[in-house]
Structure 1
């Protein structure tokens, strides 16, 4: 193994770290890759280490991270190694530097691997991670939007980017009821408070709520940055499903995002969540990539 030095990320090398991640993971949108480096305030737990070769070239990045909406007993461990030094022990050195810093409150470590990256999948399994779910990432071109569908009977749409609802409790109730998705079953439960902590300082919020005869029935929330809408959550209260509400909400969110300068919309859905994936396909979303979300139990040494 060549000589490798691991140390906390230096502010002056943040741009290098982002470039390394983007070069190694080209399928990852840059805004997502940059988030733990350029918007650390979004992570209640965040540790950032970098690996350097003998000439001080940055050859790897390691992260411990937990966003505010994640279960409190869980955090992510992400290791990204420059392709030309893979297999030389850089990832192991980063992992060894981070594991002792995992707080005692953490019982589960998560990580992610693109489903066409067999080598990284094998490494993650070697380290004890197992596949928990399979996220399907898809995108929609917003530069030529088709006309929106007629609204279902009794349905109205509200654009509320600041989450300033007069009937906040009713919207919160609808949001909780809508979470029958596989991610919620794993503990990733959304709330309006969580929404308010999910966007970076330069992201424009997009929030559309559907109401049936005035009662909150469905919601889409996300943000626009660098010409892309990233959808964080979409859901409909089960009591109002089957009426075309989700399609109407997402179509309006696309219009709002395009108005803010977005040229593309990106979303990720669990493979088994066939309902929302069918709606996305009908709207014209095209599958871009797939990600295995992996997990392992963690015990302090």
Structure 2
């Protein structure tokens, strides 16, 4: 396992300070706030640690309430809303400086057989044929002029191998495209031993799901986003449904699109498939997407 991946796992390994209260820390962010995927993943860890081991996360619904402070710990308080025969429900509130910054509801289910169908996997190239982040970013040195931004983008990709099928939003600034984006991702290293548990794979997918979901909104308007400074954005809410087992250390296709943007907000929706074509996760997120006033 790489040191970068171990650091990410350490970040997601919360400290238990009371029976249903946990404390997490943050890592340096590209923007001066806590990365939303980190808070969502840590909140899911907190919820999962209060649930019987035979129950698996099948959905989460979350709201981002305030920007998190990367320099302060985050306290996660878990409410045990329901423990039924088949389903377990938890509510988690993340608090910093005495104020809630994030709210999550998560549902867990005991395994059972049921009806089966799924939407087919869309065509996508082999991920091994696509450039890594370290290979991709130098191609766009003319728009990625801030070395701090580049350094932190590359740092975020050290633990997660994320590869764009088509150029990212900052790669085609000024050229509106179809509001559709695909990326392949997996952890940068294998998960095994004591850390290899079903909840961890779900938590890692939750972490990555906030990285690129709003890209398709930017593509429709030919904008590069926060990387180029031509859009101000932030996640507002986030929902995920976990349909089938998967591994976060094996390639997953993140197929994303935006059906609408209006009123300073944009909607992204996506499906995540395993490399052999199984639909593993559905995702929907709305975010603030504003054009800076000086433009």
> TM-score range, shorter-chain basis?
0.3 to 0.5
TM-score (ref. length: structure 1): 0.35
With CA pairs under 8 Å and 6+ residues apart, which has the higher RCO, 1 or 2? 1
Structure having the higher helix fraction is 1
Whose radius of gyration is greater, 1 or 2?
A: 1
